[in-house]
Amino acid sequence: MTDPLIPATLAFRDNGTPFSPRHNDIYHSAVGALAQAEYVFLQGNQLPERWQRKRVFTVLETGFGMGINFLATWAAWRADPLRCERLHFVSIEKHPFFPDDLRRAYSVTVADTSIAALGVELADAWPMLVPGTHRLEFDGGRVTLTLLFGDATDLLPTLWLRADAFYLDGFSPSKNPELWTPPVFKSLARLAADEATFSTYTSAGDVKRALLQSGFEYKKVDGFGWKRAMLVGRFAPKWRVRRHEPPSPLAMNERHAVVIGTGLAGCALIERLASRGWQVTSLERHASVARDASGNPAGVFHPMLSRDDSVASRITRAGFLYALQRWNALTRDGHLIARGGDGLLQIGASDDEARTMNDALAGFEYPPDYVTRVSQADAQRLANVPLARGGWLFPQGGWIDPASLCAAQCAAAGDRLERRFGVEVARVERSGDQWIVFDTNGRAITAAPVVIFANAHDAARVAGLRYAPTQSVRGQLTLLPSGSVSPLRMPVIGEGYAVPLPNGVTLTGATYDIDDPDPGERAPGHVENLARVAQMWPSIATSIDADRAAGLSGRVAFRCVASDRLPMIGALADESAAIRDAVALRGAWPLDLPRAQGLYGAFAYGSRGLVWAALGAELIASQLEGEPWPLERPLVEDLDPARFLLHALRRGTAA
């Protein structure tokens, strides 16, 4: 008999491989799940006792299901006066529910009203059903749920965390044997903290053998409900474990960081670090925040589509979704952010490109709240202007005033932030366990155990990096006065972009002039911007001809991009030490590289600072604290500031 509370859910596709829809006979009944969670997983892992008085405690679960185990753990954490400061719950789910299904299930199966209320909060925060990593925060960020939508056998090797407890849940071995194989348990052992515990309601022989082979010891105890026995145990390998991973928190006596730069990258770092109790000293060469590219009147935010769901697309998707959560949280806390969230239209560059992309998107089966294909007629109705062709609507996309976002993030940091303006940083120098920061006059201006370079073009130079190739890209914007063109209802992007601002002005742009240092506006740049917009919005050419376009005004700003067009986010390498050991590091992986302890980078965001900055800040904060990463490990390695040094070592050209 099937359980009527278990619906079929969205079938994802990842690189062409379909995720099968949920089958009712795979999952056990939801009835009694809360009592099972408390007995099997909380008591089985000696919780709450084991997390008491710790700064961070991490639970890793192999099957989220309806989230009953998470809700029971969250409720127990709330009820414990000796609870850890921060609880991380990481879970993988191949067949996620829709939020309405979760609400319906909780209303029927959860009698405890306090846990039912947590269930409503979880359902309200439930992410879009797209593959990848989703990070949700509750109780002011002290409880973090990191959900990975996909197959556990594929995703476990991509995690980077230190698990204190394992909830081995999600199907029985007989009905889902691939989840209970030696490779899976080897992945669990790689992620296990010292003395990590586990529990599972199965006691199958294959599971017990795999546990022993992977360094876990177990004992059989009385089961729960219809299960006569279950297993509990701990990670206690009888061999020496090479501890490249899991990561340990950075050893330091004080949580104090210097953040250089107060654009989108720097202000996101300020907010994420302060939320964890860090003291932050921000250094800015200008007289206020958001003065360079982050000072543009507006910027657009949206996911990035690609035919093969490329690395850049996956990173941008994760960043876009996380940024929306952080901005909404800031708004709920009373911080004002000027933004337009009524959607964004992307117009195909050509009919052939539109057909090819539509074929690819049909295979991915993204949900309509992420992206929706629109015809030319629908696009024109949504934008309120005639357009050259159809394209794609991003309902959660839009525009934002970057300066207002930066101000909100700094305000959220409160008294944990010390602001210092008019400071031009020249270099840093190690002294004991501190980094001394010097200005261009050679004066020591501050010191901290952690320094983060979020100063775009100057980052590599000030940090003393030789293997961090970046370019400066001049971008000239054009402002169309109110009434000069038909009013847009939402931003339209494609070959260029057009953004309706609240004052009736339409923002268009932007030029892409590589290594062009000219800070002044140029008439040909305005003509170029209008010509690109006219490829999407043809009638604009009749509203503003080339002669009139040349007389328009705008703004020039400089973006910093890496040679591979991906940002630089994470711990900096000790390049001198790596070059000294170049022969030994010829076949190195990122975890083999010597690092400059306490130095981090968050730069080269190009034109995607709005969608990358919050996720980049959360990644660095997680690395500093030894917390689970908010992004899959292979993607983090693609962002590693040391990736170009690694390439040179592998080629034998590092010197």
> Could you give all domains of the chain from N- to C-terminal order, each with its CATH number?
13-235 (3.40.50.150), 256-291+404-469+564-581+596-632 (3.50.50.60), 344-395+471-561 (3.30.9.10)
Residues in a beta bridge with 143: 87, 138
Q: What are phi and psi of 89, to 5 degrees?
A: -125, 115
> In this structure, are residues 361 and 373 in contact, taking their beta carbons and an 8 Å threshold?
yes
Q: What is the mean pLDDT of residues 330-357?
A: 91
Label residues 621-648 b or e (16+ Cβ within 10 Å = b).
Answer: bbbbbbbbbbbbbebbbbbbbbbbbbeb
pLDDT of residue 244: 57
Instruction: Report the amino acid identity of residue 295.
Output: G
The residue written with tokens 């892992």 in the block is 45
Confidence of residue 246 (pLDDT cuts 50, 70, 90): low
Token representation of residue 398: 């839009």
> In this structure, are residues 53 and 86 in contact, taking their beta carbons and an 8 Å threshold?
no
Cα-Cα-Cα-Cα dihedral of 148, 299, 411, 621, to 10°?
30
Residue 28 has what DSSP assignment? P
Strand order in the sheet with 339-340: 299-301, 398-400, 339-340
* 0.95 surpassed by pTM: no
Residues in a beta bridge with 431: 434
Residues 120-170 pLDDT 10s: 999 999 999 999 999 999 999 999 999 999 999 999 999 999 999 999 986
Helix (H) or strand (E) run with residue 162 in it: none
How far apart (Å, rounded) are the C-alpha atoms in residues 603 and 613? 9
> In this structure, are residues 527 and 511 in contact, taking their beta carbons and an 8 Å threshold?
no
Residue ranges of alpha helices (H) inside 391-536 are 402-413, 459-463, 523-536
Residues 511-557 pLDDT 10s: 999 999 999 999 999 999 999 999 999 999 888 887 888 889 999 99
How far apart (Å, rounded) are the C-alpha atoms in residues 431 and 425? 17
| Surface-to-core class of residue 470, CB atoms within 10 Å of its CB (0-12 exposed, 13-18 middle, 19+ buried) | buried
3-state secondary structure 283-313: EECCCCCCCCHHHCCCEEECCCCCCCCCHHH
Percent of the chain predicted with pLDDT > 70: 92
Q: What is the mean pLDDT of residues 385-393?
A: 95
> In this structure, are residues 218 and 208 in contact, taking their beta carbons and an 8 Å threshold?
yes
Residue ranges of alpha helices (H) inside 192-263 are 205-213
Residues 74-121 pLDDT 10s: 999 999 999 999 999 999 999 999 999 888 888 776 667 788 899 999
